[in-house]
Amino acid sequence: VKTIGVLTSGGDSPGMNAGIRAVVRSACHHGMQVYGIRRGYQGLIEGDIVPMGPRDVGGIINRGGTILRTARCKEFFEPAGRKTGAEQLMKRGIEGLVVIGGDGSYRGAQALESEHGIKCIGMPGTIDNDIGGTDFTIGFDTALNTALDAIDRLRDTAESHDRLFYVEVMGRRNGFIAMFSAIAGGAEYVLVPETKTSVDDLVESLNNANARGKRSSVIVVAEGDEAGDAATIAKQVAERSVFKEYRVTVIGHLQRGGSPTAFDRILAARLGMRAVQALIEGKTGLMTGVDGRDVVLRPFSDAWERPSRFDPAYAELMQVLAL
Ligand code: ADP
């Protein structure tokens, strides 16, 4: 493989730029030609493809979002769309592709590979940490720290006014941001989609906390909790707990932006370099990830067949320390 392309697809996440930089510079280090494909599979189909060199990725390591931009692309679900995409690559002699995105983007890459023989390697980029095959995704740590910063600020005002604060954080399919930010932020309670939420338990826990002398509490809610959003849960609790005054804050898309943390930049750098090496080795159909301290390559299917799960021990830790 002498010529490769790199694209970002699906939802953006902080650290994608650090990933693009790592791919471009690693490839150039090995004397390869690199193309940047703008707007994911949409740009691929349209031929929005530009050569990239080491200087084109200067000054982006600290920037959130993705300089290549990203998109969702309906046509890529169809064989005809993928055929056009493959032709755009072949026209330029691009034999390998690094796809930075989530499991949906890998499904597209897998189809492109099996139908047209383009070698594809994935890098996990999403704030939700909801991709199997890796302990962490690029962007999760930054989003977690943004959520934590919000929790810290809300705690200041909660304590000053003896109030209950609900903080709704991102996480439609899992409670990673919620659980980690709740532990790090010293929250009283956390509600995540992985465990069934009991409003009764929450009410009892808050009443007990009050009896132990706690006059303010922070409750973290993952947006995808099966019991509903933070506002719905807060209303139900207020009807039954001793805490009548409460405030709900939805952090929302603030969690998607911002300068990536050192953790995310280093993760992106390691995975980007590995992705390029994998293409040099002639590998395909794999995603890069971390397993403990190691950078690993796993089949794309791990992304959707092995949903990343947090250890139930975190829930216990949370409960014990909220005393
Ligand atoms: P993510 O990669 O973050 O999971 P999406 O699920 O939105 O994001 O997928 C991004 C893009 O990948 C889609 O807009 C589509 O172009 C492509 N894609 C997703 N699933 C498939 C599939 N089953 N077959 C072909 N392409 C797909």
Task: For 269-289, write each residue's pLDDT tens digit.
Answer: 999 999 999 999 999 999 999
Q: Which of 7, 9, 128, 134 to mutate to test the pocket of ligand 1 (most atoms within 8 A of CB)?
A: 9
Which residues on adjacent β-strands are paired with residue 209?
none
Averaged pLDDT, 286-294: 97
pLDDT category at 308 given cuts 50, 70, 90 is low
138 lines ligand 1 (CB under 6 A): no
- Is residue 128 flagged as an active site residue? yes
Q: Which residue has the least CA distance to atom 1 on ligand 1?
A: 102
pLDDT category at 216 given cuts 50, 70, 90 is confident
For helices 230-240 and 199-211, angle between their N-to-C axes, nearest 10 degrees? 60
The pTM is what?
0.96
300 lines ligand 1 (CB under 6 A): no
On the question of pLDDT at 306 being above 90, the answer is no
Q: How many angstroms is it from 72 CA to the middle of ligand 1? A: 7
Number of neighbours of residue 289 by Cβ within 10 angstroms: 26
Which residues on adjacent β-strands are paired with residue 290?
295
On the question of pLDDT at 307 being above 90, the answer is no
Quick check: 272 and 16 in contact, CB under 8 A? no
Tokens at 42, concatenated: 């949409």
pLDDT tens across 62-110, in order?
A: 999 999 999 999 999 999 999 999 999 999 999 999 999 999 999 999 9
Q: Which residue has the least CA distance to atom 23 on ligand 1?
A: 107
